[in-house]
Amino acid sequence: MKLSLTVNGEQRVIDDVDAGESLLTVLRDSLGLTGTKNACEQGECGSCSVYLDDGLVCSCLVLAGQAEGAEVVTVEGLAARGELDPVQEAFAQAGAIQCGFCTPGLVMAVHDLLQRVPDPSDGQIREELAGNLCRCTGYQKVISAVRLAAGRTNGHHGY
Amino acid sequence: MHFLQPTTWDEALEARAGLPDALPVAGGTDVLVDLNFRRRHAPALIDLGRVPGLGEVSAENGWLRIGAAATYDRLMTALRRDFPALAVAARTVGSPQIRHRGTIGGNLGTASPAGDAHPPLLAAGAEVEVASRAGTRRIAIADFFTGPKRTAMAPGELISAVHVPRASGPQQFAKVGTRNAMVIAVCSVALALHPDRRRVGTGIGSAGPVPLAAVEAERFLEGVLDEGGLWEAPRPLGDAVRGRFADLVASAARPVDDVRGTAAYRVHALRVLAGRVLDWAWADYLEAGAGREVGAG
Amino acid sequence: MVTTVTDRVRGGVGESVVRVDAVPKVTGTFDYASDMRADGMLWGAVLRSPHPYARIRHVDATAAATLPGVHAVLLADDLEGKRTFGLNLDDQPVLADGLVRYHGEPVALVAARTPAIAHEATTLIAVGWEPLCPVTDMEDALRPDAPRLHDFGNVLRHVHITRGHPDEAEADVWVDGYYETGMQDQAPLGPEAGLAVPAEDGGVDLFVATQWLHVDREQIAPCLNLPPEKVRITLAGVGGAFGAREDIHMQIHACLLALRTGRPVKMSFGREESFLGHVHRHPSRIWLRHGATRDGRLVTVDARLLFDGGAYTSSSPAVLGNAATFAAGPYEVPNVRIEGTLVYTNNPPCGAMRGFGAPQVCFAHEAQMDKLAAALHTDPVELRLRHALHTGSVLPTGQVVTGSAPVRELIELCARAPMPDLQPARGRDQLDYPGTTGNVTHGEGVRVGVGYAVGFKNTAFSEGFDDSATARVTLSRSEPTGCLKSAPEASGEAQRPGSGVVAEIRTAAVEMGQGLTTVLTQIARTELGVERVVLHTADTSMGNAGSTSASRQSMMAGGAVQLACRLVRDRLAARARGVAAPGGGPLPEPVELRDGVLAAGGERVADVADLLTEPVAETAVYHHRPTTGFDDAGQGDIHVTFTFAAQRAVVEVDNELGIARVLQVAAAVDAGKVLNPAGFEGQVEGGTAQGLGFALMEELQAENGLVRNPSFTDYLIPTFLDMPPVLTYAVEEPDPHVPYGLKGIGEAPAIVSTAAIVAALRDATGRELNRVPVTPDDLAGLRPPRPTPGPPPVPDVPGQWPVPYYHQRASTQSQLM
């Protein structure tokens, strides 16, 4: 089937999409937007998180056809005119990246969180990001990145 | 495989009638997993996401009508007062990404014994409204689950809504898992007190081939509350009642050992949780005191 | 252009430099192995065994081969090169030939136009299976009547260590313990992937996420019937590894398909295949006996270890050797006997995972120390302080700790760390209870517990293995960046020290997320006094850098870069001699490159840029000091150096329900020299998370050899709501003879965190908890401690090396030992 949708502000048309294909597959394989990752294909890890019409979803669980006519924003669409989004900048500054495989999904989730809750508490940060798994960082510096992006000061260093 | 995207409810029912083996998809949080892993093959997919009004929540005559496409996000916020057990359960589902898409209709359609919405629906005495080209009917929630991932729906039927009496008393839901977030329940329990009908409702999840009601526990507690006049003039229930209620809930379970937990643990956890949810619900009832509408039974 | 004295080079050793790959990673432009594509590429898929142990009676691939879109189907019979591979022994079949030994073992390969077609083709390959009865219990594998899974039997290695007089040790207090650890999985977020491109010279170019390019090439080339120089490997972006990528996973398969089809072939595992397709942490059973005098002096430790290596060898012999050397813990004890056995079973193959044998023994020896403290009526922290190793201590292997060993200080830091604010039981936000949003407690049954653990790990390879690392550093003039031409004074860039110079680093060392590439650029900045450093992609055109594992690369690749930089400095000094005093003698010491100048004896001699009319390039190979193997008594200088760590964990447990929440971890690590503080903290926090997972939730469950939970739904790793704040402390006592005195710290925090958390769980529940991961059944008291009839008898083996060595089965990789 044919699919038309807006991705990162650009109108895209893709032919030959299978009915059972996920939005994640279309983004990565048809559109070459490999920033969104496939780490579990079952919505357990959040590394495929994108905006679908302003709501944060796991793109591995959205049928391509369900995105017909929709506005999708991926991690590649966050930086405006070559400047990093404040969330992206905060991740880099706070040391919240190691292997980075979870980073696009987390950046999207943090971006979404701060749009809804500009000054989240620790508990809110943890609960709202619980759908994003990270294997490298232990999450502490990601929380620091959220606070940094939200305009608060960085956390405690032990030495 | 075809992709069908009906834009009205009638179109959806037509599609369902025409292709009984087609997979209806709303939020996709269960169906897509099966598709991604090539575990399910169907001649067609019916996307219900463009049917207007399918997710609406409304109230009439003391009943809530929850549209099948209502997402967990919606349930978390819209039901705090009128169906608190489901609002609490909705918050435990997956992640924000999942809650933004997953629906109550999908939870019922998948009919997993671990579905988080099921115990609250059982405790509240819900009715599932299903529709086909031939018409609409309601299935009592206690009759809805016929086996693991099997329902009483007929071919050609789609879930349109869930009807539930608005909460007339305290409700509770508790779900235990091996980590602190993103868990499929090892077991769960819901409790609803219905003073307007002098009834107690329960629901148990992940502790049997289907979600179960702890019927004996319900009757026991109803008996205690009736005989003691406790609906009208509530007093502390005491350890004996609490313990008996908890035992009866635990004994209603028919759990197995599986990769997520042991049967023995599930029975134990249900006993602990049943006692606690009763404590909390009854404490709320005590605190609310007089002025609550208590029925004649 | 003026360079003032206060204008120092930024971003050197010791600073929290932002990662060099941060921008590509946050913008989604960093290419991981699974993101790569090539024109005309095909997709590879693997048919894997559904049985843990079975004969293959026949295979019919006709239907698969004729499916439209399929370009190749390969079975074992189609292999023209070497048919086996392995890190230590080449005992692992590229494709199973008549027999499979584990659930998931590769049987056939398909290359097709799309992943869906490739997968479908694998389902069309008809295999006639004859299931056999698998050996899945590690003690059963030792029985004389057990089926022999490999030619020489099921015992792969037995290590024996004796020191002092363990049989005559006199103790007043004896403490016995039995411990079990389950199979943990590395579960890196990025699943296995690679792209093999056939080359015009008949060779192949492989782009893959791996941990050791050169050892991959050594194993791949013979299987393709190619000389090593025709197998060129370039590192693709790695989405985490933690040991899972030390072994070959899809490399040989993708190359075979690429050469067969003449097209690029990509292979990319899904999560389930990833769980089945890489090695795991060895499950273990450990029996310990500690003896102490009445006044609290440890006099003897007797340890019996049993490690389940699964179906094939991988790096198991080294894991066992490691575990044996650490089994008594970081404590002084005069009499020790350690017997460690490694067996084959039909369980999934095990190999390297962060800690490499140490987490298992640390869990056991720390439990023992707590038990001993209780038996002696001594404080558990005090008992550890009393016996803590220090510089000059002698280990059970007779090795003397010659490097720094601030073990007491690490313990004290944890003990003095501020406790978390403990909230009252009632009235909290639901997120602050065990179970969080699950709403399972409002304070009922909750109790706080505190526990400690201390442990250690070696850095780099051991038992005589010379794992060196190579690096090449080039220094040259660079073009000015940005629009500087009009107003150099106004632009900060032109004023930066050394701004006219760029350094390039070439190494085959793998960056897998731990921060190596950033550290290497920091070293180059510090050594060369320039800020602009370019790090080239790792590939096999450079010499062997050794494995990114064993916490070794900061020391080894860092050491190679440092050496190469110093050779560059020496070349520049030679050039400068001509400048300073033509035909003159050597420059006064010290000769340094700093802030864009070459200085000698504290005086500026020349701007570095002026000395670079021609670039300077130097290659260096860094070797660590030599080590030895075990003699017959298990004595030897086994390890290069040690890193110590201590942790204190504070947990809260709902005792009735058996669920827990970790409130805080205080982590102290013996870092030698912290090269990048933010990077160091990140490694400590991340390692602690993996240890927390191992303590509370992570187990790859194999029932009769079949993996039951190869998914993130049922193999649970910690989430944001599971991980607590971590207080990180570094003790910087430099290690001698090592660049900057640094120590490799990647593994140490992962080793001690499991033991510390379980110690805290014991404190909160009063339960014995002798197995990890701990389950709610254990915490709620529904399940008694795991029983044992006692340790199995010590097997009869020819010597300390892996048994196959004595049967002349050493492989190309025998030097891994």
The answer on A98 and A52 residing in a single domain is no
Per the DSSP assignment, residues forming a β-bridge with B58 are: B65
pLDDT, residue C84, reads 98
The answer on A9 and A72 residing in a single domain is yes
pLDDT, residue C418, reads 98
Report the candidate in B75, B84, B67 with the shortest Cα–Cα distance to residue B194: B84
Structure tokens at C774: 């701990």
Stretch C208-229: mean pLDDT: 98
CB contact set of C534 (below 8 Å; sequence gap of 6+): C502, C503, C504, C505
- Residue A156: inside a domain, yes or no? no
Min Cα separation A119/chain B (Å): 18
Cβ-contact B106, B26 below 8 angstroms: yes
Question: Does C27 contact A99 at a Cβ distance shorter than 8 Å?
Answer: no
Min Cα separation A92/chain C (Å): 5
Q: Which domain CATH number covers A93?
A: 1.10.150.120
Q: How far is CA C649 from the centre of its chain?
A: 23
> What CATH number matches the domain at B171-288, 3.40.630.10, 3.20.20.70, 3.30.390.50, 3.40.50.300?
3.30.390.50
| pLDDT of C110 over the 80 cut | yes
Number of structural domains chain A divides into? 2
Q: How far is CA B209 from the centre of its chain?
A: 15
Separation CA C64–CA C408 (nearest Å) = 64
pLDDT, residue C177, reads 98
CB contact set of C792 (below 8 Å; sequence gap of 6+): C139, C142, C304, C306, C341
- Residue A113: inside a domain, yes or no? yes
Residue C582 binned pLDDT confidence (cut-offs 50, 70, 90):
low
Question: Does A61 contact B35 at a Cβ distance shorter than 8 Å?
Answer: no
User: How do the domains of chain B map onto residue ranges?
Assistant: 2-46+57-165, 171-288
The percent of residues above 70 in pLDDT, for chain C, comes to: 95
The sign of the dihedral angle between the CA atoms of B9, B15, B18, B23 is negative
Residue in B with minimal Cα distance to A42: B33
pLDDT, residue C343, reads 98
The answer on A95 and A125 residing in a single domain is yes
Of B173, B184, B279, the CB nearest to C713: B184
Within an 8 Å CB–CB cutoff, is residue B228 touching chain A? no
Name the percent of chain C in helix, strand, coil, to the closest 5.
25, 25, 50
Residue B266 three-state SS: helix
pLDDT digits (tens, 9 = 90+) for C74-86: 999 999 999 999 9
Q: Which of A77, A99, A125 is the last residue of a domain?
A: A77
Chains sharing 3 or more CB pairs under 8 A with chain A: B, C
Residue C574 binned pLDDT confidence (cut-offs 50, 70, 90):
very high
Identify the structural domains of chain C with CATH numbers, from first to last.
22-30+468-622 (3.30.365.10), 33-132+191-238+245-277 (3.90.1170.50), 140-185+284-359+792-816 (3.30.365.10), 401-459+630-779 (3.30.365.10)
pLDDT averaged over every residue in chain A? 94
The percent of residues above 90 in pLDDT, for chain C, comes to: 93
Separation CA B288–CA C623 (nearest Å) = 76
- The answer to whether the B2-46+57-165 and B171-288 domains have the same CATH topology is no
Residue C494 binned pLDDT confidence (cut-offs 50, 70, 90):
low
β pairing state of C265-268 and C42-48: parallel
- Residue C773, preceding peptide bond in cis (omega within 30° of 0): yes
Of A20, A58, A63, the CB nearest to B97: A58
What DSSP state is assigned to residue C777? Answer: H
Match 């991705």 to its residue by tokens.
Answer: A7
- Residue A139: inside a domain, yes or no? yes
Q: Which amino acid is at C363?
A: F
The percent of residues above 90 in pLDDT, for chain A, comes to: 91
Stretch A126-147: mean pLDDT: 98
pLDDT digits (tens, 9 = 90+) for A14-59: 999 999 999 999 999 999 999 999 999 999 999 999 999 989 999 9
pLDDT, residue C147, reads 94
Q: Which of A59, A77, A95 is the last residue of a domain?
A: A77
Report the candidate in A131, A134, A38, A122 with the shortest Cα–Cα distance to residue C682: A134
Residue A158 binned pLDDT confidence (cut-offs 50, 70, 90):
very low
B201 φ, ψ (degrees, to nearest 5): -120, 140
CA geometry: angle B205, B209, B211, nearest 5 deg: 30
Which structural domain, as residue segments, surrounds residue A132?
A: 86-149
Report the candidate in C656, C623, C626 with the shortest Cα–Cα distance to residue C639: C626
The answer on A65 and A12 residing in a single domain is yes
The answer on A66 and A104 residing in a single domain is no
Note the pTM of the prediction, 2 decimals: 0.96
Structure tokens at C115: 């992943």
Q: Which amino acid is at C115?
A: P
pLDDT, residue C1, reads 40
- Residue A67: inside a domain, yes or no? yes
Separation CA C558–CA C545 (nearest Å) = 10
The percent of residues above 90 in pLDDT, for chain B, comes to: 94
Distances (CA, A) of C504 to C469, C472, C613, C614, C734: 17, 8, 16, 14, 28
Residue C609 binned pLDDT confidence (cut-offs 50, 70, 90):
very high
Separation CA B77–CA B66 (nearest Å) = 13
For the B2-46+57-165 domain, the top CATH level (class) is alpha beta
- Residue A155: inside a domain, yes or no? no
pLDDT, residue C495, reads 66
pLDDT, residue B20, reads 86
Question: Of chain B residues 24-63, which have a CB less than 8 A from chain C?
Answer: 37-38
Contact residues on chain C for B259, CB-CB shorter than 8 A: 701, 708-709, 714
The percent of residues above 70 in pLDDT, for chain B, comes to: 98
Residue B220 three-state SS: helix
ipTM over 0.85: yes
Per the DSSP assignment, residues forming a β-bridge with C723 are: none
Match 């590429």 to its residue by tokens.
Answer: C41
pLDDT, residue C490, reads 42
pLDDT digits (tens, 9 = 90+) for C731-782: 999 999 899 999 999 999 999 999 999 999 999 999 999 999 999 999 999 9
CB contact set of C531 (below 8 Å; sequence gap of 6+): C9, C10, C11, C496, C497, C498, C499, C525
β pairing state of C469-477 and C193-198: unpaired
Residue C480 binned pLDDT confidence (cut-offs 50, 70, 90):
low
B61 φ, ψ (degrees, to nearest 5): 55, 40
- Residue A56: inside a domain, yes or no? yes
Q: Which of A77, A100, A131 is the last residue of a domain?
A: A77
Separation CA C555–CA C1 (nearest Å) = 36
- Residue A40: inside a domain, yes or no? yes
The answer on A63 and A123 residing in a single domain is no
pLDDT digits (tens, 9 = 90+) for C283-311: 999 999 999 999 999 999 999 999 999 99
pLDDT digits (tens, 9 = 90+) for B220-260: 999 999 999 999 999 999 999 999 999 999 999 999 999 99
Report the candidate in C377, C355, C420 with the shortest Cα–Cα distance to residue C649: C420
β pairing state of C771-772 and C173-181: parallel
The answer on A143 and A92 residing in a single domain is yes
pLDDT averaged over every residue in chain C? 94
